[in-house]
Structure 1
């Protein structure tokens, strides 16, 4: 059944997901606050700053008018940076109240809010009350916009506490190159999506320093143990972390040049200063803020996260990367069995 979908955020992932939905036969309105970007998408059918070598569907419509984008929408898909989710959700709620709409809410962003450290579904739920939505679903997993744009085979997860809502999102997006699995562990899916960006910074740093595959495999494995420990402490199902939104997303983010977090870590490992890395990237590096969140949450829960602590020291305490690696490698020996989450 054809749905009307408002996609909020025309970065690489938002615009590619909008194009997927359009190709799937849905009516899509893609919202951006940048008029030049909307004009480019509507008239040239490209989004050159964010996604190269993709000609978007002629029927995909971009707009800077949020009310126009939300008009009669069955589904609203948030794909804005984490730091903008609350602000955009407030604006969305104002419009939904005025028009008496209650669409299904979906988000495909990955991170935690600064200061509150709340998950994205929590932010959206706070700003858009139950009377103005059908429920919230998170769309997450190992996916690069650049590859989905060219119909590479991709498998991701639709997570909601309400399985029927997750199935609706599954039906909305699934096609012959994009396969969606459902999951009811919303906490685990969102936390896995956020925390893996921290480990990706570390993986990039190892590459920048010239370390090989052994080091990267070790970092990813022990990084997954840390992610799992913290996630379970907040109510996640440990099995989620060995699924698509856990180890799957960790692998793709820690091994690919498409990953902003990996590229940022690579530059740090090569000796570039953090402010220069941020300036050069030109897009949000979610792992930087998420690392601070994970560091402080782990301290609150008294959970041991040595890799996260080391990356935090590099990002926020100006610690030397090589010294932090040395400290990790010379820690007291432990049993792997007792260091696992489950």
Structure 2
């Protein structure tokens, strides 16, 4: 069944997901607030800033008019930076009120709101409410736009409190190279998606310093334990962190040059100042803001997250990286099993 879908956000992941939906036979309009980008997509069918060398289908329509994008849309897919999610949601609510529309809302972003530390689904629910939203589905997992665009095999998760809504999104996106699994643990999926970016910065730092595979494996394993502890404190299932949006997303983000968070960490490990890293990247590095959110939450909820604290200190307190690593390695000895001491 053909669905009419508005994709909000024309970065690498948003434009790639729009391309997938078109390949799957759906009617897609891509929204961007950049006139030059919309013109390039419509006229040249390219998006060189975010997806250099990739050619989009001529069926993909881009617009800077939000009302045009969501008119008659059955689903609205958010793929915008976390920092502007609430702003775009407010704009969408005004448009939907005029159009008298109540679409299914999907989001494929990863992060927490600065200040409130709220998950993206919470922001969308607060702004759109049930009046302008028939349901919320989170699309997340180990995926790079560059690899999905070239049809590499990719498996991700559609999570929702309404499993029927998750199954609908599963049907919309599934094809011979992209397989979607469903999950009803929206808290766990969003937590894993957000906080793995912090651990990825740490993995990049280790690589930049010249550490080998043993150190990276240790960081990823113990980092996942921290993410799971935090997620479970807010009601997530521990099993979710063993799945695609947990360990799966952590692996791909901590080991790939496609990851902006990993590249950020690598450059920090090589000695480049954070301000310069951010400027040179030219795209949002979600793990930087998420590191502060993770640190604040761990402190407020009294959750032990030493790796997260060390990364926070490097990013926000200009701490010496090697001293922070030394501090982690000389902590009191303990059992690997939560709750047991040496």
| TM-score tier after normalising by the smaller chain length | over 0.9
User: d(CA) in 2 for partners of 1:339 and 1:280?
Assistant: 43
**Number of the residue aligned with 1:33:** 33
**Number of the residue aligned with 1:285:** 285
**Number of the residue aligned with 2:309:** 309
Could you give the per-residue CA deviations for residues 227-284 of structure 1, whole angstroms, max 9, x where no partner exists? 0000000110010000000000000000000000000000000000000000000000
Could you give the per-residue CA deviations for residues 50-91 of structure 1, whole angstroms, max 9, x where no partner exists? 012210001100000000001000000000000010000000
Aligned counterparts, 1:147-226, within 5 A: 147-226=147-226
User: d(CA) in 2 for partners of 1:279 and 1:134?
Assistant: 39
Could you give the per-residue CA deviations for residues 76-131 of structure 1, whole angstroms, max 9, x where no partner exists? 00000000100000000001111110100000000000000000000001110102
User: d(CA) in 2 for partners of 1:36 and 1:277?
Assistant: 26
**Number of the residue aligned with 1:65:** 65
**Secondary structure in 2 matching 1:265:** helix
User: d(CA) in 2 for partners of 1:281 and 1:338?
Assistant: 37
User: d(CA) in 2 for partners of 1:338 and 1:187?
Assistant: 21
CA root-mean-square deviation: 0.7
User: d(CA) in 2 for partners of 1:323 and 1:178?
Assistant: 42
**Secondary structure in 1 matching 2:20:** helix
Deviation of 1:337 (Å): 1.7
**Secondary structure in 2 matching 1:335:** coil
User: d(CA) in 1 for partners of 2:261 and 2:270?
Assistant: 14
**Number of the residue aligned with 1:44:** 44
**Number of the residue aligned with 2:105:** 105
| Structure 2 CA distance for partners of 1:141 and 1:339, relative to 1, 3 Å | farther
| Structure 1: segments with no counterpart, 5+ residues | none
User: d(CA) in 2 for partners of 1:81 and 1:241?
Assistant: 23
**Secondary structure in 2 matching 1:171:** helix
**Secondary structure in 2 matching 1:73:** coil
